[in-house]
Structure 1
Amino acid sequence: MRKTGKRLMAAALAAVMAASVTACGSSGGTAGQTTETTKAAGETATTAGEKKQESGSEEEPITLSIAWWGGQERNEYTQKLLELYTSEHPNITFQTSPSGWDGYFDKLATQAAAGAMPDIVQMDYLYITTYANNGSVADLKPYIDNGTIDVTNIDPVLYGSGEINGKLAGMVLSSSLLAFTYNPEVLASAGVEEPNADWTWDDFIADCTQIAEKTDAYGMETNLSDNINVLNYYVRQRGEQLFSDDNKSLGYKDDAVFVDFVNMIASLVEKGAMPNPDQYAAIMAMGKESFPVVTGGAGFRNDWSNYATIVEGSNDTLKLVTPPMTADKTKALWVKPGMFFSIAETSADAKKQAAAEFINWFINSEEANDIILAERGTPVSSAVRSYLADSGKLTKKQIEMFDFVDDAVSVCADAPAPDPAGVSEISETYQTEIYNVLYGNKTPEKAAADFRTMVNEILERNN
């Protein structure tokens, strides 16, 4: 049973959830907002990493529509970024559609179906295959071939992560890794030693259990149900892959791997070391800056490697560690594209060219990255990373994020193929089946079998 303090915390969280409308993938996004940057006169400037480009002609006015998800901070600096670009390219203005994560891809799917997708869209690895396969996004290879997008300082494996069926469906903007963020003060209060890259799942279970027993905090504030990449990692540690090569079925053969994974979760929830589904829904309603790992109500959180940077303003003591390993130390982690910019296939040729020029500026120019400051993840350009590291402009957490990514390479393997079409539906099924076990509606064995049946049907239907 959970201690009284935890029950009170859960009740308080539930009250917050009832009053909150915060999207779980963002903190303060402004869904549906549309603005246009003001044109500014001025000469076209060139900076390091930027070549002078022409969009048709210098006088041709072009308005590019652009959509992204994120919190208020991202919205504000992206607007500044676009205004700077317009000041240097007076014929280019932007029509913007910032949004929170929740609902972003629902809206984008509607726009794509109507042939009205924005010229530039921030794209996630979960969905890029779907938009490539349905012909919604343009091939960016021609813009690399003609020199518009400079990939000289980008690892080919990383920018090639956006290639789907021979088409470069998106230009990668940043990289990230699965990471466990932890609160060192919570660990210290429970007498738990801070983990390193060699820790195992047994260590993780013992640490979470000890935190729950010795403090009034959760060991792990998530129940590993809202990021299917964690299951992918768990499967890869056993020498298999989550999806088959042809994306028609699950790639692992024995349901025991899913059963073991869910049993671990259920055991920790039963001990009060992880939140149950209702408690976790209340946590997610609070927003990233108020999650228990930030406020001292949890020891660990699984997220991406930029999480500690995002919440640095609320707690600058959080640290990162790679996810737990198996006892045999199998390398299964991978460097994941943080996000992409894709260009709509329906955009006019002049707009596609102008969009490609902007993307090149975004990823390669020092002045753009002086504004971005790695908020979207670790920059893909090695030249930009070096510039920022030496600039003195990064915060402590941003520097730690760069170091974490560099150090984690030692435990990384080759990246899996881009997620297949239908993965968003698969992710929902993944959480549903875990919750069925946690609510007592199914045994882990039944949930594993049903997950296989439903996922295979989804994959067959979409691929």
Structure 2
Amino acid sequence: MWRWALKFAVICLLSILGGCAGRTESGLHQTGAEQVNLRIAWWGNEYRNNATIQVIQRYEEQNPHVNIEYDYSAFNEYWKKLAPSAAGNVLPDIIQMDLSYLSEYGTLGLLEDLSPYVDNGWIDTGSISDDKLAGGKLGEQLYGVTLGLNALFSMYDPEVLKAYGLQPPDASWTWDDLETMGQKLKGTGIYLGTYLTPEQFFAYSLRQQGVSLFTKDGSSLGYQDDGLFVEYFGRMQRLMQDKLLFEPDIWTQDINDPDEDPFYKGQALFGWGYSNQFISTVQRYGKPLAIAPMPGPHNERGLFLKPSMFFSVAKNSKHKEEAARFINFFVNDLEANKLLKGERGVPVSSAIKEQLMPFVEPELAQVFDYVEWVEQHSSPMDPPGPIGTAEVTSVLREIYDLIMFNKMTPQKAAEEFRLRANGILSQNLQ
């Protein structure tokens, strides 16, 4: 425990706290009930931020005794800002939580077990299957309620591919097919794509080979053959050397301005990420886009359904019941989900998904169809990342940049990553 307290304290000292977007509302009329002030924090883009604010306002209208202060930021900045609050035990009442941080925050005693709130009906899970709830569990404790389901995917503009004489990918396409496409683009100034987050897509490529990034007990890396690392990152390095992936500096910051991303200019064939990002991407792109699976082979092993994110309740919250009631509203209210439009993933409630179908726009229908396809062509998700996942991710991103800038060979990088990652994870045995 002491080393994680120390870790949070160090992060607290190093965090840059600027650039936040926040709001405090006051002046709501009392209705006889005791006035409750809640704080909520999430990461997201402009689309998510605006939709979430509308849902908050709807909840306040229906619950005049509740005043909700909110704070949002981009993904990387979000965790920097959250760390000092964790160190000081003053987290917001409701926290948007990512799978990669759930173990860390949960095992540090920072999150409330929501099982009792499910048992007494404050969070209605009657139309949420056990396997979808399980994504937010550590052992028997429910530390997060899944807000939606998504899957890794590729997206593209069919007109851009057509302009360069390329056929759209189908469900059988492979990493080799992707690289072959790139050979036709060499010298044109057009990229294959931009953003392949190393920890997400390396983990996907490992799953394709039947192994995982971490062992089940979280004490070391889950693969023994460093050739798997060399194969994946060697391919990424080749694509970078051929100027088929956009410069690495775009990966070190959050991309919030379409003007800075060649995908939005029609200068990159593919965008990659999780399917819940499709709605906001189409909105920003301004033209229809299409969805394809991630490259194979064996993408039925690599793909999985993932909780897009969770809402958790802070252990330090003084209003846990009201926080639970807001989460229930967020997940189970039809009008709220009309506003959210599946941007956090396909609704986890089967009832809400069914009720939402008559109102689904074409882009969201594509996401629903794709997630349904993945459900039939995928494997179970790996367990939540162990304590130390965030540190391992930071190391991998650092090494990735060195590979892409030709400062380190994939072979040397594989050795370096194994040494440093296992050094971090080995502490889980203590």
Matching of residue 238 in structure 1 with residue 227 in structure 2: no
In the alignment, structure 1 residue 405 sits paired with structure 2 residue 371: yes
TM-score (norm 2): 0.90
Q: CA deviation at 1:99?
A: 2.2
Structure 2: which amino acid aligns with 1:168? L
Structure 2 Cα separation of the partners of residues 38 and 415 of structure 1: 45
Q: Which has the higher helix share?
A: 2
SS of aligned partner of 1:122? strand
Letter of the structure 2 residue corresponding to residue 70 of structure 1: G
Question: Aligned runs of 1:134-153 on 2, under 5 Å?
Answer: 134-153=108-127
1:207-238 Cα distance to aligned partner (Å, 9 max, x none)? 2332335x43101223x3x2412111111111
Deviations 1:286-318 (A, max 9, x none): 625752222201001211112331122233322
- Residue 294 of structure 1 aligns with which residue? 264
Structure 1 position 216 matched with structure 2 position 189? yes
Q: Deviations over 1:402-446 (max 9, x none)?
A: 111112222210111011222222122112222222223222111
Aligned 1:320-331 pairs, distance under 5 A: 320-326=291-297, 331=301
Say if 2:7 is the partner of 1:34: no
What letter corresponds to residue 117 of structure 2 in structure 1?
A: Y
Deviation at 1:368, TM superposition (A): 1.4
> Residues of 1 paired with 2:238 and 2:128: CA distance?
43
Letter in 2 for 1:440: N
SS at match of 2:166: coil
1:440 counterpart SS class: coil
1:318 is aligned to 2:289: yes
State the alpha-carbon separation in 2 of the partners of residues 134 and 370 from structure 1: 35
CA displacement, residues 223-277 of structure 1 (integer Å, 9 cap, x when unaligned): x3x2412111111111111100110100101101001001111111122211242
Matched residue, 2:339: 371
Alignment of 1:167-178 (within 5 A): 167-178=141-152
CA separation of 1:451 and 1:283: change in aligned 2, threshold 3 A:
closer
CA distance in 1 between partners of 2:260 and 2:27 (Å): 35
Once residues 282 and 93 of structure 1 are traced to their aligned partners in structure 2, the CA distance between those partners, rounded to angstroms, is: 36
CA deviations 1:355-390 (Å, max 9, x no partner) are 111111110111211221212222111111111111
Give, in whole Å, the separation in 2 of the partners of 1:36 and 1:133: 33
Distance 1:81 1:234 in 2: 37
Letter in 2 for 1:187: L
Residue 404 of structure 2 is aligned to residue 438 of structure 1: yes
Aligned pair count reads 411
Question: What is the distance in 2 between the residues matched to 1:148 and 1:248?
Answer: 37
- 8 Å contact 2:291–2:370 — kept in the other structure? yes
Give the aligned residue type for 1:206.
T
Distance 1:108 1:373 in 2: 27
CA drift of 1:95 comes to: 1.7
- TM-score computed with the length of structure 1 as normaliser: 0.84
Q: What corresponds to 1:166 in structure 2? A: 140
| C-alpha spacing 1:312/1:401, structure 2 compared with 1 (3 Å) | same
Unpaired segments ≥5 residues, structure 1? 1-28, 43-57
CA distance in 2, matches of 1:342, 1:281: 28
**d(CA) in 2 for partners of 1:94 and 1:30?**
21
1:39 corresponds to which letter in structure 2? L
| Distance in 1 separating the partners of 2:227 and 2:62 | 58
Q: How does 1:346-365 map to 2 (within 5 A)?
A: 346-348=316-318, 351-365=319-333
| 2:314 paired with 1:341 | no
- Which residues of structure 2 form unaligned runs of 5+? 1-17
Greater shift, 287-296 or 135-144, is seen at 287-296
Q: Is the 8 A contact 2:198 2:400 kept in 1?
A: no
- State whether residues 29 and 65 of structure 2, in contact with CA within 8 Å, keep that contact through their aligned partners in structure 1: no
CA distance in 2, matches of 1:289, 1:440: 27
SS in 2 for 1:66: strand
Is the CA contact 1:173–1:339 (under 8 Å) kept in the aligned structure 2? yes
Cα separation, partners in 2 of 1:262 and 1:383, compared to 1, 3 Å: same
| Aligned-residue offset at 1:155 | 2.5
Aligned 8 A contact 1:153 1:381 in 2: yes
**2 CA distance for matches of 1:41 and 1:63?**
12
CA distance 1:249–1:60, shift in 2 (3 Å): same
Q: Partner of 2:126: helix, strand, or coil? A: coil
Provide the C-alpha distance between the structure 1 equivalents of 2:257 and 2:198, rounded to a whole number of angstroms: 17
How far off is 1:168 after superposition?
A: 0.9
Q: Distance in 2 between matches of 1:286 and 1:273?
A: 22
Measured in 2, the distance between the counterparts of 1:293 and 1:387 equals: 34
Aligned to 1:101: 75
> Between the two proteins, what is the percent identity of the paired residues?
33
- The corresponding residue for 2:427 is 461
Output the amino acid matched with 2:352.
V
Question: Which secondary structure state, in structure 2, belongs to the residue aligned with residue 74 of structure 1?
Answer: helix
- Over aligned residues, Cα RMSD in angstroms? 2.1
- For the residue of structure 2 that corresponds to 1:36, the secondary structure is coil
- On the 8 A contact 1:172/1:341 being kept in 2, the answer is yes
- Structure-2 change in CA distance of 1:124 and 1:38 (3 Å): farther
